[in-house]
């Protein structure tokens, strides 16, 4: 097709798609092309703005490495991550709610025995976390695999510290036969998401703060249950109403309780949804 | 705001935007968030698909370097580039039409005298290009600056040849006092856009060919006139109806005329629009 104009081009792009064995991809690409073109038309995007967008996306990709995922961060601050999580995790009442995955998960975190220390020297006040993992009928989820990760008291995940050669404040545990777990770590504190890249530029340009309320990440897997990716948020945090990535659920807020001996205790139970398989 | 769901999150993201000195940015971001969220809801994007998209965008950014711009290529094959060009270049009848910029322009191309050789050793059949640059009243545009670039007969731009240390098949010329220009180069041939990156993966997955009809890129600048970014397309090319980037305009198709002496002649005149400034 020759001589497409700003309106006919949308159909021209859609008609160009040929034999697609993957019908789902066709659905996705058709909607994407419609929305992308409608966006450009709605705002009457200029060529200069188009080039700025190209450069922004390029910088976002080039800010990613094996320890940093700036496109996840971009998706997070635009609310796309939480939207996707919300659409895909509509569980029965009583199940623990899911929230955003975030950009700081690492595969193959160190294995930590029950009662062991996840902090591994990360700066922060000592904290002991305990809880139980059950199904929707209250039955224990024996030997569930628990991934936990968090920022330290200076607001950094281990992967944000170039001088660190070993993991800190992340670990992989296994619940006991009764679904119970406990481990030592540090108290979660509020922190700003990284602002030294393109996402930081976007937040500044749009008058937004980069802070996330204090939280502890969990990903819990067990055969016969849906994997749960969530956080526990710290009650009283000043950013609970304005999380930079829109991840806060009322049901995920818990008390970190200071003890006379200097330790802080967090107890949180998780309810997994049975999978359909 | 806590407990956003897949519908309320759109308003939550928009309300988070704070004081924005740039009203235009607010307009763009508001539309972008609406369309991005609507897209995800329309297709009920899964978490796995979201992660595939994150990885695709990351690879696209990381495929870019100082000589390759994979995000422009992505915009090109999705029709966004031609849409933006069409919206922003609605000129009076008689003006030469604009088309896509493409990913292979290079700043500071070698200066070439009128009549000089732009090819500089690029493989291809010899060709002489001539023409005249005028305004909408037919008045000559004296000393217009002409940037020209093209692929060689093997389908590569110089920047796609890692073994090349100097420019080939691109140059910067200046029209004479009567707006006339001529230079030597090679005959333009059809070629596939690069398919060894994420955009190639996308074309294969969507059943599309990567070919562009033979063309010669021009960017023409002169004080008092709108800059013209365009191509001249070679008449008879089999891909004129299915350009991978949707750039063909009927008015930009011209004959490359073979001569008995082995040279090929292309003559094309450009009509620039007067700028408002």
Taking the CA of residue A236 and the nearest CA in chain B, the distance in Å comes to: 14
Contact A86 B12 (CB under 8 A): no
Q: Where are the beta strands (DSSP E) in chain B?
A: 126-134, 145-149, 170-174, 180-186, 191-192, 211-212, 215-221, 228-234, 253-254, 257-258, 264-267, 270-271
Percent of chain A having pLDDT more than 70?
100
pLDDT in tens, A82-105: 999 999 999 999 999 999 998 899
- B58 to chain A: which residues are within 8 Å by CB? 61, 64, 69, 71
Provide ipTM, 2 decimals. Answer: 0.93
- In sequence order, what are the residues at sequence separation of 6 or more whose Cβ sits closer than 8 angstroms to the Cβ of residue A15? A1
Superfamily of segment(s) A70-271: Aromatic compound dioxygenase (2.60.130.10)
- A16 to chain B: which residues are within 8 Å by CB? 208, 242, 246
What pLDDT was estimated at residue A18? 83
In whole angstroms, what is the distance from residue B232 CA to residue B252 CA?
5
pLDDT band (50, 70, 90) for residue B19 = confident
- B208 to chain A: which residues are within 8 Å by CB? 16-18
* pLDDT above 90: residue B30: yes
What pLDDT was estimated at residue B18? 83
- A208 to chain B: which residues are within 8 Å by CB? 16-18
Of the candidates B18, B33, B80, the beta carbon closest to that of A207 is on: B18
Taking the CA of residue A3 and the nearest CA in chain B, the distance in Å comes to: 5
* pLDDT above 90: residue B1: no
Average pLDDT over residues A232-237: 98
Q: Which of A252, A256, A212 is nearest to A232 (CA)?
A: A252
Question: Nearest residue of B to residue A66 by CA position?
Answer: B58
> Is B120 within 8 Å of B164 (Cβ atoms)?
no
Of the candidates B19, B86, B206, the beta carbon closest to that of A20 is on: B206
Domain boundaries, chain A: 8-45, 70-271
- B78 to chain A: which residues are within 8 Å by CB? 13, 32-33, 36
pLDDT band (50, 70, 90) for residue B252 = very high
Is pTM beyond 0.95 here? no
Question: Nearest residue of B to residue A79 by CA position?
Answer: B13
Taking the CA of residue B82 and the nearest CA in chain A, the distance in Å comes to: 8
């Amino acid at each position: 097709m020759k001589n497409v104009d700003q309106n006919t081009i949308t159909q021209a792009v859609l008609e160009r798609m040929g034999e697609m064995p993957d019908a789902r991809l066709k659905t996705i690409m058709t909607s994407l092309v419609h929305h992308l073109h409608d966006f450009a038309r709605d705002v009457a995007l200029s060529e200069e703005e188009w080039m700025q967008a190209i450069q922004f996306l390029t910088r976002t990709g080039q800010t990613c490495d094996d320890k940093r995922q700036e496109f996840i961060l971009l998706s997070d601050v635009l609310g796309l991550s939480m939207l996707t999580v919300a659409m895909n995790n509509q569980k029965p009442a009583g199940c623990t709610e899911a929230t955003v995955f975030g950009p700081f998960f690492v595969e193959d975190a160190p294995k930590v025995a029950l009662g062991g220390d996840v902090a591994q020297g990360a700066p922060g006040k000592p904290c002991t976390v305990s809880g139980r993992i059950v199904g929707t009928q209250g039955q224990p989820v024996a030997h569930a695999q628990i991934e936990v990760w968090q920022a330290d008291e200076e607001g950094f995940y281990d992967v944000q510290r170039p001088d660190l050669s070993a993991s800190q404040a992340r670990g992989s545990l296994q619940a006991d036969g009764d679904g119970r777990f406990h481990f030592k770590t540090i108290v979660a504190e509020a922190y700003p998401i990284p602002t030294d890249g393109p996402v930081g530029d976007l937040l500044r340009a749009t008058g937004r703060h980069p802070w996330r309320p204090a939280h502890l990440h969990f990903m819990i897997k067990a055969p016969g249950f849906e994997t749960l990716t969530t956080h526990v948020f710290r009650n009283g945090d000043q950013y609970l109403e304005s999380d930079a990535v829109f991840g806060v659920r009322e049901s995920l807020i818990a008390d970190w309780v200071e003890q006379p001996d200097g330790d802080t205790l967090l107890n949180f139970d998780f309810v997994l949804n049975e999978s359909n398989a």
